Amino acid sequence: MGDRKILMGKYEIGELLGKGTFAKVYYGRHIVSEESVAIKIINKEQVKTEEMIQQILREISIMHLVRHPNVVELKEVMATKKKIHVVMEFVRGGELFAKIARGKLKEDVARKYFQQLVSAVEFCHSRGVFHRDLKPENLLLDENADLKVSDFGLSALSEHLRNDGLLHTQCGTPAYIAPEVLKSIGYDGAKADIWSCGVVLYVLLAGFLPFHDENVSAMYRKISKAEYGFPLWISYEAKSLISKLLVVDPDKRITIPEIKKIPWFKRNLATPNAFHMEESVFGNLEEDIKPGVMRKSPSSPAFLNAFELIASGFDLSMLFELKGRSGVMFTSRCSATLIVSKIEKVAKKLKIKVVKLIDFTLKLVGRPSEGRKGQLLVTVKVNKYAPEVTVVQFTKSSGDTQEFIKFCENIRQALKDIIWEWQGNTELTSDPNINNQERVQI
């Protein structure tokens, strides 16, 4: 028992799973729930020395954005003065690469993995995230043999686009890189990801790379001209799709909506898991979750130690999802339980329905008949970012933006006694459509 390594009183650290230049990844187990996790431990001094701070923050913020069944889940981030601990979903099945190394896959198996890859990539693109390093080594398999996209270290966000609307950083793994990335004229991150998906599909079906040469320059020449051949065992339909994916001109390359219409792709397509669809209409969520009931949830939310990160020169603002979206947030020194209770009271007075989800997340549902652009749906996330600081995020999932702004102003006025600092849409303080008499007090 004396040899047990316990992190932050929450996780037992086990065997080393892998290591890189600045980080080591360990197997971990949550002490209370016994859930298995992977814990990436980053040495902050080494990161600061190598000026990798922004890359680390970008990877964390991207994983926070892309919650999808086929993407490795970020659970929480914690820190000490010397180290950052990134707690992620533990994916038991290892890399898809190891499966391919034993030989080509059957077509129905390859199709399933490609379908899941496309689903994950489509969702990432919808959140303004471009992976830029899609390859079998970065595709993991869970205990159910479902695919999980990992390693967002080279990913870019929409905000990284230059004035020409393109990305310019040349990065990725040579054999999977799109021809336009090799040039110095800029490229569309989404279209480059689609090329990489094409290479992955080829590898799954063929068992080897479409573009391979020991001489890297020769390999790049093949990529730039899309020079490759097909083995005899790949079906005509699969060849046809790959031929549409591996098109040199990115403007003529097939898009994800077009991929999803192809009969070969649609064959045995599983119904998508809807848990990640925060941006969509509320759907059938109420059928699965009883209103007013919090399902298996800890007594307080997981926290990121914001003060330690900030003290080390890390700006946490990019970890939040407010850029380019309808959302606000506030910090408070009150407990998460108290904040949730107060939000429920405000919602009740506004005649807005509250559905509690796990991990201190609420869905607030407006009355269908009132919305100018449909029913107002608001997602509220309550996170502990340090023992003494709680951060509350409000994001509009659907409905009219002005109605959302009005709702947030009501929240702001009603909770002003517990709000430490408010951040978000500047229109909240100047919108002429907000009637002061309508603000709710509790």
Numbered residues of the known binding site for ATP: 40
Smallest Cα–Cα separation from 245: which of 198, 209, 203?
Answer: 198
R_g of the chain computed on alpha carbons: 24
Residue with tokens 């949550």: 30
Strand 23-30's sheet: what is its strand order? 5-7, 11-19, 23-30, 36-43, 83-89, 74-79
Under a CB-based contact definition with an 8 Å cutoff, are residues 384 and 292 in contact?
Answer: no
CA pair distance 398, 168, nearest whole angstrom: 34
**DSSP H/E element including 398:** strand 389-398
Under a CB-based contact definition with an 8 Å cutoff, are residues 340 and 382 in contact?
Answer: yes
Residues contributing to the annotated binding site: 40
Backbone angles phi, psi at 305, to 5 degrees: -80, 85
Do the bridges between strand 83-89 and strand 74-79 make them parallel or antiparallel, or are there none, so unpaired?
antiparallel
Backbone angles phi, psi at 359, to 5 degrees: 60, 40
CA distances to 77, 97, 239 from 147, in Å: 23, 12, 22
Smallest Cα–Cα separation from 79: which of 303, 300, 231?
Answer: 303
**DSSP H/E element including 9:** none
CA pair distance 12, 243, nearest whole angstrom: 48
Strand partners, 147: 141
Report the phi/psi class of residue 249: left, alpha or beta, with left for phi > 0 and alpha for psi in -120 to 50.
beta
CA pair distance 88, 356, nearest whole angstrom: 23
Fill in the DSSP letter of residue 95. B
DSSP string, 63-114: HHH---TTBPPEEEEEE-SSEEEEEEE--TT-BHHHHHHT-PPPHHHHHHHH
Smallest Cα–Cα separation from 338: which of 197, 240, 442, 260?
Answer: 442
Catalytic residues: 133
